[in-house]
Structure 1
Amino acid sequence: MQRENSFNYPSSPSARLRHRRRSNEGIVEDLKSNGSPLLVNDRNKYKSMLIRAYSSVWMIGGFALVIYLGHLYIMAMVVVIQIFMARELFNLLRRTHEDRQLPGFRSLNWYFFFTAMFFVYGRLLSQRLVNTVTTDKVLYQLVSSLVKYQMAICYFLYIAGFMWFILTLKKKMYKYQFGQYAWTHMILIVVFTQSSFTVANIFEGIFWFLLPATLIVINDIAAYFFGFFFGRTPLIKISPKKTWEGFIGASVTTIISAFMLANIMGRFSWLTCPRKDLSTGWLHCDPGPMFTPEFFTLPGWIPTWFPWKDVTILRVQWHAICLGLFASIIAPFGGFFASGFKRAFKIKDFGDSIPGHGGITDRMDCQMVMAVFSYIYHQSFVVSQSITVESIIDQVLMNLTFEEQQLLFTKLGQMLQDRLFLQ
């Protein structure tokens, strides 16, 4: 009597062929359900690597050119990236059939997007805009009024969009319209607001934008290559191609790179000086203790063949290690979140604008997380919290009218004269 758990192999050739086909189909289905195989087992990995490398060279070259051009061009690049990201995400839940029944409804998404852009960038750049137009009295008064009422203007713009949405509601389309309304706001909160911290970092000094962004790129490339050649142990189910070998190798590479790159970047005023206005000229400033080299003599147990006996270290390099730790351990979870999101919607990439990489959003998932941390870290542990002359002048220029500034100047001069007379 045959056991119930035994397996009967087909005897005829045609039956064995059908059995083999069913087995192969089962393997394909398992791969589809469990995700792509590890890179080390991917037969097309060399072709995909060449395509990815070619695109990376072009992206890095364009990125370097924008960095050379300066703060305003970097900000323009960030704005363009945000627009492309919004476009990709708006299209993710778009339904052509429903949109045809709602003419003009797609424009509402972009209306909210540019309203949010006006609000966020207005808050970030208002003082720098005022500093730029101080020489022209008429333009200065116009900009000052715009800055003063910017929040109210943005609020009424949003209310106008809210009323527009209500007035366009159509019977039997309520669920789709409210879904799009919620989706738009999620994009603005999760994507746009986080990536806007990047602009704040740029004007604090290109260094605080360039170093974190570069560390994410290095971590991504290192994880790819370590996983490409050594990956054997899967890291997380959400992203099947990620391996522990790639994660650990990339972490070590990123932390070492952070320490070394901070020393190189910290020696250029163009990268370290904050931009106080919206001009495009080259910057020169006092580097301050954060970017002042400190000399250290290496201990005697260092081998004699080592070429350096003294090394120079910038204080910012120790902060760079913290950025490197975050970029290698925490920031990749932004990529894992994006991978889970794509699996939830059953898509491979958010777009196809970058060959070998997917869409813009696929490249910016970790960058957004890193930008927020860099800004918070810089404001909490790097920037001095004490009141400075520059901060007081900024408040005077932004909050007082021209006549009030003249009155303040006159009274301050009288107070200083009285103090000198008493001495």
Structure 2
Amino acid sequence: MQVAIIGGKLQGVEAAYLAKKAGWDVVLFDRREKAQGAHLADVFHCMDVLRSREEFVAKLQGADLILPAVEDVEVLTALAEVGQRTQIPCVLDLAAYKVSSSKQRSNQLFAAMGIPTPRPWPDCHFPMLLKPSDRSGSEGVQVIPDQEELERVLHQEPRDNWILEEYIEGPSYSIEVIGFSGKYQVFQITELEMDAQYDCKRVLAPVRLDLGLKGELKEIALKLARELSLQGIMDVEVILHAGKLKVLEIDARLPSQTPTAVFHSTGLNMVEYLGEAFVQGKMPGPGLKQAIQKGAGRPVILEHFLVTPEKIEACGEHILGEAGPLHLLTDFFGADEVLTDYAGGKKEWVLSLMTWGSSFVEVWDKRAQVLKRIQRELQIPKVLDPYPLSQCPVNAKITRY
């Protein structure tokens, strides 16, 4: 199978990485010459698919699937039209995406369905969280600590373009759902850890979560997919606060980070399932369900680091989006796999570190050894790591979650 991936940033990296794991040929399109996913593809075309529409269509010859990895509605609309024109299946549910890409429309959907979410302003107390309605993930998110700051923000921000809600703390979780025409299947739940800017810096799988809460989260995802009449893939992010799950956001497109963690934990490749569904009409069926129910999966940690001559620091995935083209390497300073823009002599570089094993104790120890080796061999003074081995957040007696 040959897949044409449009967009080479974080989603494009995810798509290209998993497509290659499926054994596919990858053709990547991005208007930036140094797109992060450029070196993960078999063929890379540096071009603007909107401005060079006919050239783009010509370069799609031989493609079996179009996989958008962008969040620009104008580009997505054009890709849907190109898919219809060329009869190449396009992994895109534009109607569902338009709902999920607006936090205002998403919140209206949650309210209508009775899905629990953080309480909105003015029915909540300080501190509060400000979230721009039309930006992705953690972009533009900020905490409003008091009335003075709220008044300043209300004066500066367009009131019709933001969400203001209670700020709550607790572990965050994510789940993906794939399907069509009322037939849907959820994947493994992952846990998300955030940096100071509320950007995900670490994904863990499987999760430490009560079976009842797991079932509740899966049902929320399925309920939302049915309500949206989802045609493809969507992820749901929640926070566990005071023993209750509250939905933070949904995204009706291929997410980044979590599909890779799920792949290494369970062996299930979401991009491969999407390809089979859109190209072959093969729906995720009993085989997938049985594979998910068969076991919790092996422990996996996927996390991101910024490496400078002064420090190694765990950071949100935005640092990957600020890097140059990434390379996939194995046995990198002892790691299982990494995505990195490292090159000999480079002073500042990023590292997406993937580690797995038979138990979380083994995995935390392995990743600690990788960081120590990088620190030692590159003579870096310190590692800003919230989880030194002595404080590993996993009970040493637990071997499986």
TM range (shorter): under 0.3
| TM-score in terms of structure 2 length | 0.25
Greater helix content: 1
Higher relative contact order (CA 8 A, sep 6+): 1
Which of the pair has more CA radius of gyration? 1
